[in-house]
Amino acid sequence: MSKLTKKVALVTGGSRGIGAAIAKRLAADGATVAITYAKDANAASSVVKSIEAAGGKAIAIQADAANAQAVKAAVDKTVSTFGGIDVLVNNAGTAIPKTFEETTLEEIDRMFNINVRGVMVATQAALKHMKTGGRIIMIGSCVGERMMTPGLVPYSATKGAVKMFTQGLSREVGSRGITVNNVQPGPIDTDLNPAAGDWATPQKANTALDRFGTPDEVAALVSFVAGPESSYITGANLTVDGGTNA
């Protein structure tokens, strides 16, 4: 038996980048996995196919994290298809890098709607079904705790909100045997933050390891937090950032 056998996980934004790596890793650990995506149905379907090809079970659900009805429906679909939900990974998120004074109100709303409101909506919906042993896992960011560069002001504020949401919620659901933790990546090579992009050089320089991380390195920590060995960890901000915040 693998460590997540008989567990059902929902990974939001699981079609590309960090979310896709998490979905594949949780499936490799034995979980049945649902992923959501916003736009790219082909990418979502290729994650499902790759999990199935490895002998796992998965579905993809179109659900924009900014649309509360769609997010609730995605949780319900996960539960009706697989019989429950044991692990929620709130991964869907976006950044719109530019100076604060240039950022529009619409852009601020978009970052908060996806990164904070969407996370709260998904979590509320999942908690209705979650039993003892449940795991709520946020994908925050190292910039939710410390900031090294200009250009990410509202984004870092959303991730700071995710951090305190994690800590606060852990106090409410601990008595139900549910843990709530915040995995905080540093610079990870994805479409959102390419290691070869304009913004990459200062980010790499801020790490102690002098490199970007990979989505699999984040997925490895999420896998641990999702599994039985993390049972006494809750309300924690677990940073996987190559030493950026050291």
| 26 vs 35: CA distance, rounded Å | 11
Judged by CB under 6 A, which of 16, 24, 25, 163 binds ligand NDP? 16
Range in contact with ligand NDP (rule: CB under 6 A) among 99-107, 124-132, 146-154, 181-189: 181-189
Judged by CB under 6 A, which of 27, 51, 86, 93 binds ligand NDP? 93
The DSSP secondary structure of 148-211, one letter per residue, reads -SSS-HHHHHHHHHHHHHHHHHHHHHGGGT-EEEEEEE-SB-SSSS-TTSTTHHHHHHHSSSSS
Judged by CB under 6 A, which of 109, 191, 210, 229 binds ligand NDP? 191
Cβ neighbour number for residue 149 with a 10 Å cutoff: 13
Q: How many residues of this chain bind ligand NDP (CB under 6 A)?
A: 32
| 101 vs 87: CA distance, rounded Å | 38
**199 contacts: CB under 8 Å, gap ≥ 6:** 97, 149, 151, 193
- Residue 122 structure tokens: 């998904």
Does position 107 interact with ligand NDP (CB under 6 A)? The reply is no
Q: How far is the CB of 232 from ligand NDP (least distance, A)?
A: 25
| 182 vs 105: CA distance, rounded Å | 27
Does position 188 interact with ligand NDP (CB under 6 A)? The reply is yes
Please state the separation of Cα 208 from the chain's center in Å.
Answer: 24
Judged by CB under 6 A, which of 64, 86, 145, 217 binds ligand NDP? 64
**Which strand (E) or helix (H) includes residue 82?**
helix 68-82
Residues 203-242: x/- map of binding to ligand NDP (CB under 6 A)?
----------------------------------------
Amino acid letter, 102: E
Does position 154 interact with ligand NDP (CB under 6 A)? The reply is no
First-last CA distance in the chain = 37
Range in contact with ligand NDP (rule: CB under 6 A) among 77-85, 92-100, 101-109, 232-240: 92-100
Q: How far is the CB of 242 from ligand NDP (least distance, A)?
A: 11
Cβ neighbour number for residue 126 with a 10 Å cutoff: 25
Packing angle between helix 153-173 and helix 105-112, nearest 10 degrees?
30
**Which strand (E) or helix (H) includes residue 87?**
strand 87-90
Range in contact with ligand NDP (rule: CB under 6 A) among 26-34, 39-47, 126-134, 171-179: 39-47
Judged by CB under 6 A, which of 166, 182, 193, 230 binds ligand NDP? 193
Judged by CB under 6 A, which of 39, 49, 128, 131 binds ligand NDP? 39
Catalytic annotation, residues: 155
- Applying CB under 6 A, the residues found at the interface with ligand NDP are 12-19, 36-40, 43, 64-66, 91-95, 114, 139, 141, 185, 187-188, 190-193
